[in-house]
């Protein structure tokens, strides 16, 4: 039964006609120069984690204790050469510990 519903939904999607305005807007968004890759954002996050930690005179160990993470993990996050990626939940724990919003980590 779910297969029939799925097929019907696909057929409806295929029959949708995109207006010229929507198509132009999609093209405009695709062509914008502000689209960055993951590494760009990870670099900004790394710098900001370190900046906010230092503003509060915290060591990596202090932040690790506050977030219940290892000092090595905090070091890996801050160090660009270590190529450590993090998930949003980890970023949330760090933000709460530093008393900043997650969005602050994305500011250049």
Give the model's confidence band at 2: pLDDT under 50 very low, under 70 low, under 90 confident, else very high.
low
The mean pLDDT value for 69-74 works out to 94
pLDDT digits (tens, 9 = 90+) for 10-25: 555 555 444 444 444 4
Using alpha carbons, select from 66, 54, 56 the residue that is nearest to residue 92: 66
**pLDDT beyond 50 at 94:** yes
Tell me the domain boundaries of the chain.
2-31, 38-106
Return the CATH number of the domain spanning residue range 38-106: 1.10.260.40
pLDDT digits (tens, 9 = 90+) for 35-61: 788 888 889 999 999 999 999 999 999
């Amino acid at each position: 039964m779910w297969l029939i519903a799925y097929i019907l939904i696909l057929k409806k999607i295929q029959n949708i006609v995109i207006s010229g305005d929507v198509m132009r807007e999609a093209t405009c968004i695709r062509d914008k120069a502000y689209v960055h890759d993951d590494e760009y954002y990870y670099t900004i996050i790394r710098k900001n984690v370190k900046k906010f930690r230092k503003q509060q005179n915290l060591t990596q160990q202090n932040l690790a204790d506050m977030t219940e993470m290892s000092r090595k993990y905090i070091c890996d996050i801050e160090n660009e050469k270590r190529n450590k990626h993090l998930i949003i939940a980890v970023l949330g724990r760090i933000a709460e510990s530093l008393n900043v919003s997650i969005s602050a980590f994305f500011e250049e």
